[in-house]
């Protein structure tokens, strides 16, 4: 019992010290508040609210130059364009209207170009702010200040209320349809070129890229593989445009951003839909040569000219200024 009063005294002293410390803190806070104006604290609150607002989801869609992909290459061990039984012989490259000297030129071109490996670049637009790929107001402001990015209201890009699943499904369906049309158009063009597609199973393997805009470049890649010599002549050539079964090349979105992506990844030539020329003119990156095409046949002839280096000055282009 002798130790109990001692414990009570210790507790009382600790409580008294706590009260003194609490009073001191309250006094310090009160003095701090009285020493600053209401505007000061209003400013702090405003800054906090602004920071919070910047982190909120944006109502805008940001677009920027996306990655490119060489359709003549492989991804994870799979060929992007795979053609089974595609051992086309040089003797299959024929045309009854061509002279013997022309056939000789083709043979020589085969020998020369088979030693080169060029690229046919599929170009894309990187998008954020769409269903499943949300972005913040802060990122939207940064995009607004960046000349290599575009900013559009979300409702101008995707339907109001569209879900992530709906967005992905629509994009994938467009890509699948584009690939089917690309294969059919390539087969028709191959026949015109005297190239056999008999007993050739053509399949395309690429993921994480949606939409219809890669149709033309797929068709060119298929023709390049059937042709058995590199139509690029060792050059890096990018291109974009939808394709229908008859080989007509259609307009696409984001072509200015796609040209920037092509230039960034080493392309020196760019095949653009003729119907996009109004967007191309005045926005061609320095060092990139743009050729306008209306059909798959136009695009193939452009590649032939680029490969040979002959008559490239006569290739059709959008009236434009180099920036």
What's the pTM? 0.75
Q: Which residues pair with 242 in a beta bridge?
A: 250
pLDDT for position 35: 65
pLDDT in tens, 7-66: 667 767 777 777 778 777 777 776 666 666 667 667 778 888 888 878 888 899 999 999
For the chain, give every domain's residue range: 4-54, 60-314
Q: What share of the chain is helix, strand, coil (3-state, %, to 5)?
A: 50, 20, 35
Strand bridging mode 119-128 / 269-273: unpaired
| CA nearest neighbour of 223 among 310, 297, 289 | 297
pLDDT for position 103: 45
Q: Look at domain 60-314 and name its CATH class.
A: alpha beta
CA distance 242 to 215: 5
pLDDT for position 5: 57
pLDDT in tens, 167-192: 889 988 898 899 999 999 999 999 99
How many distinct helices (H) and strands (E) make up the chain?
10, 12
271, 241 in Cβ contact below 8 A? yes
Per-residue pLDDT of the chain (323 residues; tens, 9 = 90+): 445 556 667 767 777 777 778 777 777 776 666 666 667 667 778 888 888 878 888 899 999 999 999 999 998 888 999 998 745 444 444 443 444 444 444 444 444 444 457 999 999 999 999 998 899 999 999 999 999 999 999 998 889 888 999 988 998 889 889 999 999 999 999 999 999 888 889 999 887 788 889 999 999 999 999 987 789 999 999 999 999 999 999 999 999 999 999 999 999 999 999 999 999 999 999 999 999 999 999 999 999 999 988 888 899 999 744 34
pLDDT for position 323: 40
> For residue 296, how far is the Cα from the chain centroid?
22
């Amino acid at each position: 019992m002798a130790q109990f009063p001692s414990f009570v005294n210790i507790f009382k002293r600790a409580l008294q010290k706590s009260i003194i410390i609490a009073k001191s803190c309250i006094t310090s806070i009160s003095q701090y508040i009285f020493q600053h104006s209401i505007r000061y604290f209003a400013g702090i609150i405003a800054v906090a609210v602004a920071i919070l607002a910047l982190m909120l989801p944006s109502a805008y869609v940001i677009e920027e130059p996306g990655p490119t992909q060489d359709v003549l290459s492989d991804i994870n061990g799979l060929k992007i364009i795979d053609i089974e039984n595609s051992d086309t012989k040089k003797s299959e490259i024929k045309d009854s209207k061509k002279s013997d000297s022309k056939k000789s030129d083709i043979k020589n071109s085969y020998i020369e170009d088979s030693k080169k490996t060029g690229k046919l670049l599929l170009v894309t637009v990187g998008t954020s702010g769409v269903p499943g790929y949300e972005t913040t107001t802060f990122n939207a402001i940064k995009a607004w200040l960046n000349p290599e990015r575009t900013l559009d209201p979300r409702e101008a890009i995707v339907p109001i209320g569209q879900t992530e699943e709906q967005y992905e499904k629509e994009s994938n369906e467009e890509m699948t349809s584009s690939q089917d049309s690309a294969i059919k158009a390539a087969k028709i063009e191959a026949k015109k070129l005297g190239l056999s597609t008999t007993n050739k199973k053509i399949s395309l393997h690429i993921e994480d890229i949606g939409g219809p805009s890669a149709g033309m470049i797929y068709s060119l890649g298929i023709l390049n593989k059937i042709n058995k010599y590199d139509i690029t002549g060792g050059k890096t050539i990018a291109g974009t445009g939808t394709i229908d079964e008859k080989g007509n090349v259609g307009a696409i979105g984001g072509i200015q951003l796609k040209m920037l992506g092509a230039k960034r990844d080493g392309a020196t030539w760019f095949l653009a839909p003729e119907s996009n020329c109004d967007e191309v003119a005045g926005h061609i990156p320095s060092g990139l040569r743009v050729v306008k095409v209306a059909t798959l046949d136009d695009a193939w002839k452009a590649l032939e000219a680029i490969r040979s280096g002959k008559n490239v000055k006569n290739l059709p282009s959008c009236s434009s200024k180099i920036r």
